[in-house]
Structure 1
Amino acid sequence: MDHETSPRILVVRPDRIGDVVLSLPVLDALRHRWPKAYLAMLARPYTRDVLERNPCLDAVFDDDPESLHRGPAGFFRQVRRLRAQAFDTALVLMPTMRHVWMISLAGIPRRISVGRKVYHALTRTRSLSRHRYIPLRHESDFCLDLARVIDAREPGNGPLIDLKEEERQGARAVLAKTQGQPVIGIHPGNGRNAPNWTVERYAQLARTLQDRHSAKIVVTGSAEEGHLAEAIVSRLDGPARSLAGRLTLGKLIAVIGELDLLVSSSTGPMHLAGALGVPTVSVFCPLPARSPERWRPLGGRDRNLLPPEGQCPTCDRGPFCDLSGITVDMVGEAVGEQLVRE
C-alpha cells in the first residue's frame, strides 16, 4: 500500500462523549486530505455509538482497561491487536501513559501526542505543547493541531454524525412529533463535570417554554439522573416526557437529532446536538477552562449564556456553583430567539 496516498492512521481519544465529539473534526480533516486513507479510532466502549455514526471512520477499536483489557494481559493483547493493523501514524488527542506506551510497543512509527510528559521522552513520541491554553482556543482547534502536523490542514466540512433514515423515523415515533409544535429537549444532568443549574430552575424553564411556545418537553438523562427528569416532568401541565435511562446512546443520538432545540449545561448531549446541527441553548461557567470559548458546541447554531456578574468566588477552587446569575428569563429569551431563527 502506498502510504503517501493511503496512510493507515489511528486516532486515540479514550475520553468522555463530549470530548470525543470535539475530536471528530480531526477525522474530517484527515479524510479530506487522504480520501483513500484507512482511518481508525481507539476509544472507550461507551463512545462507540458516536464513532460508528461518523462517516470518515473505517474502524473503531475499544479500549476497556477496567474490564476486558484490564491488567498486563489485557494491555499486551491490545498491543498485539494494534500491531496487526500496521498503522503508520497515531495521533493521541488525550495523552495517557497507557496509550502512549501502547502505540509505541505496537510499532507505529509516527506517533504524535499532546503535552510534555516523561513517557513521551521514554517512548520517543513527538508531543505538542498547548502552552497552558494561552491563547485560549476551541478544543476542536487544539485537536486539529495534531492533524496539521501531518499536513491535514483543511477540514472537509462533511457531516460529523450521520444518522440513517430508519433511526430518524424511530426517534420521531418516540417523540410523537406533531406539526407546528416545537419539541424542546432539556438535559438537566452533566455528571457533575461542570457547573449547572438546579433542577428547580430547569423545571421553571420548562413551564415557561410551554406557556410561551406550547412546546412539548422531552427530558433526557442517564438512569442515575432519572429523579431529575421526573422532578421536571411532574411539575408540568403541558405535554412532557422523561426518557432518562430509557435510551441507549445510539437511540439518544437519534432522538437529539430530531429535536427542535436542546437546553443543557456544558455536557455530552450538548455536543451531540451541535454535531447533528440541532440548535442549542447552554448555560456556561465563565472560567476560561470551562468557558464556551473552549467548549461551545460545534455547528454554529448555539447560544451560550454566562453569568452577567462574571466569575464567582468558587470558580477556581470549587465547589461548582449553580449558575444562579443566569436567569430563567435569560434562557427563555434565548430559546425564543433560536426557535424564530429556525
Structure 2
Amino acid sequence: MSPHPNPKILIIRRDNIGDLVCTTPLIAALRQRFPEGWLGALVNSYNAPVLDGNPDLDEVFVYTKAKHRGQNESLPGILWRRLMMMRRLRRMQLDDVILAAPAPQPRLIALARWLKPKRIIGFGENGRLDVSLPLDTEDRHEVEDVFRIAAIYGIDGPPPPCRIVAPAGVSPAPTLTIGVHISARKPSQRWPADRFAETMRAIAAQGPIRFMLLWSPGAEDNPLHPGDDTKAQDVLERVGAGATVISRPTQTLPELIAALAECDAMICADGGAMHIGAGLGLPIVCLFGNSGAGRWRPWGVPYRLLQPPSFDVADVGVDEVVTAFNALKADIPARAP
C-alpha cells in the first residue's frame, strides 16, 4: 500500500511505443485507486504521443534522446532542458517513482535515486530498490507483467484495456474503414505487397468497405529512417479498381494515431502500430513473425492472430488473413444509423 492517501507517483517508461501502450492499464488503475493523488509520467520524445490527452495523468515529462533530436536541436540544449526537468521533479518531493519496464534497470535506478522520492519501485533484485518485484517466470503478457505493480497499492483484479485518446476533432470515417498497416521493423514481420493487395481485393468483393493504407514514408534504402513508399505504390497498383483505398503515409506518431482513430478495424503485423490500434479499441487481425505472441498479442480488444511455424509472416497465406478477418467481423462495432 502507498504510505500516503494521496501520493505523488511518477511512472518512468522510456522505451518503445508498444511498451508504453502496455503501461497505460497500470496508469488507469492507479488513477482509479488515487483519484486525488498526483500521477506523472517520464517518457521520451519518441513514445510521448501515446499519452497525449490521457486523463489519468496530471503531467507528462518528456525528454529527447540524443539520437532523436531534431535538426534545429543542439546536444547541449537538450541536455540542459533535461537537467532542468529533473531538477523540477526533484523539488516536487515525490512519494513513489515506478520503474515500469519489467527488467533490471540499474541506470534508471540511479536516476530515480537522484530525484529523492520516498520509495523506488521496480523489477529484479537490486539493493537500491525500496520495493522490488521478481522477474517474470510465468510467460505473462507485457500488460500483466507491468500490472503486478498494482498489487503494491492494494489494487486487485485483471488489468483494464490499454488506452490511447483520439485527437480532438478526429472521428470514425463516414463508411466502414479498415486500416491496413504495411510497414514492419523486423524482416520476419514483413508481409509481401502482393498479398496485402490480394487480401484487400478479396475483402472488398464481399461488400461495401474501404481501406486506409498506412505506411512509414521514405525510401527503403534510407539508412536512418527506412520507409515503404515503393511497397505502398506496389500495393496500390495491384489493388487498382478492385477496392476503395485511401493512402495515408504517417511520418509521425501523432499522424498514425489520428489516422487509426478514423478506422473501424485493422490488419497489420506485430509492432507499435498494432498496439496503437489496440489502445484505440480496434479489432485487429495481426501477423506475427519471430516475436512472442503470448507476450505481445493485442491486449483488451478482439483479435485474430496468425503466426506460422516458420515464424516468418511470408508463410502466411492470403486465404488465412481473409478467413481471420471474416471471423473478426462480428466484433467490429456496428455503426450508428
Inter-CA distance 59–23: structure 2 relative to 1 (3 Å threshold): same
- Tell me if the contact between 1:188 and 1:229 (Cα under 8 Å) persists in the aligned partners: yes
Distance in 1 (alpha carbons) for counterparts of 2:187 and 2:46: 17
Q: Which amino acid in 2 is paired with 1:211?
A: A
Distance in 2 (alpha carbons) for counterparts of 1:274 and 1:124: 32
Match of 1:88 in 2: 95
**Candidates 234, 238, 260, aligned match of 2:237:** 234
Inter-CA distance 19–156: structure 2 relative to 1 (3 Å threshold): closer
Q: 1:32-91 CA deviation, whole Å, 9 max, x = no partner?
A: 211111111111113222202322111101122314796775664443132022211011
Q: 1:288-338 CA deviation, whole Å, 9 max, x = no partner?
A: xx232211112231111121xx2x3xx6xxxxx3x2332110110111121
Within 5 A, what are the aligned runs for 1:173-252? 177-178=174-175, 182-192=176-186, 195-223=189-217, 224-236=227-239, 237=241, 238-245=243-250, 248-252=252-256
Within 5 A, what are the aligned runs for 1:8-27? 8-27=8-27
Distance in 2 (alpha carbons) for counterparts of 1:256 and 1:264: 12
Gaps of 5+ in 1: 316-320
Distance in 1 (alpha carbons) for counterparts of 2:295 and 2:162: 21
Match of 1:318 in 2: none
Q: Using structure 2 for the length normalisation, give the TM-score.
A: 0.82
Identity %: 27
Gaps of 5+ in 2: 218-226, 333-337
- Tell me if the contact between 2:6 and 2:36 (Cα under 8 Å) persists in the aligned partners: yes
- Name which of structure 1's ranges 235-244 and 73-82 shifts more when overlaid on structure 2: 73-82
Q: In structure 2, the residue corresponding to 1:43 is in which secondary structure?
A: strand
Distance in 1 (alpha carbons) for counterparts of 2:158 and 2:85: 30
RMSD: 2.7
Q: Using structure 1 for the length normalisation, give the TM-score.
A: 0.81
Distance in 2 (alpha carbons) for counterparts of 1:243 and 1:185: 10
**Candidates 145, 149, 163, aligned match of 2:148:** 145
Distance in 2 (alpha carbons) for counterparts of 1:222 and 1:78: 31
Is structure 2 residue 115 aligned with structure 1 residue 111?
Answer: no
Match of 2:305 in 1: 304
Distance in 2 (alpha carbons) for counterparts of 1:152 and 1:143: 13
Q: Which amino acid in 2 is paired with 1:267?
A: G
Q: Which amino acid in 1 is paired with 2:120?
A: R
Give aligned pairs, total.
Answer: 311
Q: How much has 1:279 moved relative to structure 2?
A: 0.8
